[in-house]
Amino acid sequence: MKRGYESSSSSPSSTFGPPQSRFKYNPEGDSQFLEDESTKFFARKKLNNWIKSVLIQLSARRGDAVMDLACGKAGDLIKWDKAKIGYYVVIGIAEGSIQDCRTRYNGDADHHQRRKKFTFPAHLICGDCCEARSDDVLANDAPFDICSCQFALHYSWSTEAWARRALANVSALLRPGAEGLEFAMVSTGYSSMKNLLKNKFHLEDAVDCPEWIVPFHVFKPLAEGYDLDIVFVKNSHEFVHEYLKKPVYVELMRRLGALGDCDQDQRRVGSSLPVFVLRVEEGERGQPDRTQGNRRRDNGKMHLSKEDILYISSEN
Ligand SMILES: C[S@@+](CC[C@H](N)C(=O)[O-])C[C@H]1O[C@@H](n2cnc3c(N)ncnc32)[C@H](O)[C@@H]1O
C-alpha cells in the first residue's frame, strides 16, 4: 500500500521563509504587541498540530515501527495512536521531558482515565539523537518504518559534522522498503515563537538550545549522500492549501479548533515552514528483513517504569 502523499507533487518549493532569528522578550515592552504575539502563538500551535496530524496520517500505516527523534514530551502520542502504529520509540535530550513522556504514555497524567491505554508498546530513550553512537544503541530497536523529527531537525545543524551525523543515524535506522516507497522521515521544520514568549508565558516546552538555519539547497544533497531522497516537500502554506481541499482534513482542523479564515490565519501566524518527507529507495540497502518485526517490539513495554528509560551518553 502506498503512503498518502504518493499522488502529490514532489517538486520542491522554492522558498521556505526567512531565517529564524532569536529575539528577546522585553519586559518593558508594548503589552498590545505581546497580546498579539500570544494570539499568533496559539493560532500557530493549532495549525502546526493540524499539519503534524495530516502528515502522520499520510505517512503512517497500521503496525509501523516509529522512531520519534527529539520527541519533547511526546505530544504526538495520540496522533500516532490514531494511525494504529505497532511500536513507538522516542529519543529526547531533556530528562524532564522524557519523564513526562512516560507519565503521558502510561496515562498517569489523565486523572479521570478518560482515554484508553495506547495500543502499541513504547521504548523511551534519553540522550542526544545526534550522538555518533545513537545508531548502535538503537540497533536493537531498528529498523523503523518511519523516523519522525518534528520541529527539531535544525538543532543538529550547528556544524556540518553534526548535521551529517544526524542524517547518518536516520539513514541507518530506517528499513529498506519492499516497494521502494516504504521509508520516511517527516519533519515540519522549526518554530521560534517560543523564544519570544517563554518569559511571559513560561512555556513548558520552551527549549534553551541555539536554533540553526537549515538552507534546503544545502540539506537536500547532504541527505541524498545518506541515501535519503526527497519524495515530498512543500512549504506549510502550500501544504495547508492542498490538504484543506479534502473534507476529512477540514473536519480535523475544525476539531482542533484551528478552522477559521486559513489564509488570514496563515498570514497572522507568520512565515512558512518546510514540510517534507524523505525515503530510502529499494535496492540501495538490499532486501528488507521482515523477520525483525517482532523482535524489536520486545524492547518496548505497555507500561513504563522509571527504570525502563534507557539513558545514553557519548561514553556509551
Ligand atoms: C521544539 S521541541 C519539539 C518537540 C516535539 N518534536 C514536538 O513536535 O512537539 C524540540 C525538542 O528537541 C529536543 N532536542 C533538541 N536537540 C536534541 C538532540 N540533539 N537530541 C535529542 N533531542 C533534542 C529538545 O529537548 C525539545 O524537546
pLDDT value of position 25? 33
The residue type at 186 = V
Tell me how far the alpha carbon of residue 152 lies from the centroid of ligand 1, in angstroms: 5
Look at residue 171 and give its three-state secondary structure. helix
**At 289, is the secondary structure helix, strand, or coil?**
coil
For ligand 1, atom 18: residue with the closest CA:
128
Residue identified by cell 502554506 is 237
What kind and span of H or E run contains 122?
A: strand 122-126
How confident is the model at residue 196, as a pLDDT? 30
**Residue 184: HSE in the Cβ half-sphere, 13 Å Cα cutoff:** 30
Per-residue confidence (pLDDT) for residue 94, from 0 to 100: 93
| ipTM here | 0.99
Amino acid at 25: Y
Pocket test for ligand 1, best of 205, 214, 311 (most atoms within 8 A of CB): 205
pLDDT tens digit sequence for 165-218: 888 888 888 887 563 334 455 655 433 333 333 323 333 345 566 777 777 788
> Nearest to residue 249, comparing CAs of 87, 17, 63, 49?
49
Query: Which residue among 153, 207, 310, 311 has the greatest number of ligand 1 atoms within 8 angstroms of its CB, and so is best to mutate?
Result: 207
Q: Cell 502550500 identifies what position?
A: 238
Tell me the CA distances in angstroms from 288 to 60, 154, 276, one per residue in order: 18, 30, 24
173 backbone φψ class: left, alpha, beta (φ>0; ψ -120 to 50): alpha
Pairing of strands 274-279, 87-92: unpaired
Measure the CA–CA gap between 252 and 256, rounded to whole angstroms. 6
DSSP code of 288?
A: -
Q: Which of 60, 8, 6 is nearest to 185 (CA)?
A: 60
Burial of 106 (0-12, 13-18, 19+ CB in 10 A): middle
pTM, rounded to two decimals: 0.81
CB 279 within 8 A of CB 179: no
Q: Give the residue among 59, 76, 54 at the shortest CA–CA distance from 231.
A: 59
Nearest residue by C-alpha to atom 13 in ligand 1: 70
Residues with CB under 6 A from ligand 1: 70-72, 75, 91-94, 97, 128-130, 150-152, 155-156, 191, 205, 207, 209
pLDDT at 142: 85
C-alpha 77 to ligand 1 mean position (Å) = 15
The residue whose CA is least distant from atom 23 of ligand 1 is 70
CA distance 172 to 132: 12
Q: By percentage, how much of the chain surpasses pLDDT 70?
A: 65
Residue-wise pLDDT for 69-120, tens only, equals 999 999 999 999 999 999 999 999 999 999 999 999 999 876 666 677 899 9
Burial of 309 (0-12, 13-18, 19+ CB in 10 A): middle
Bridge partner residues of 310 (DSSP): 125
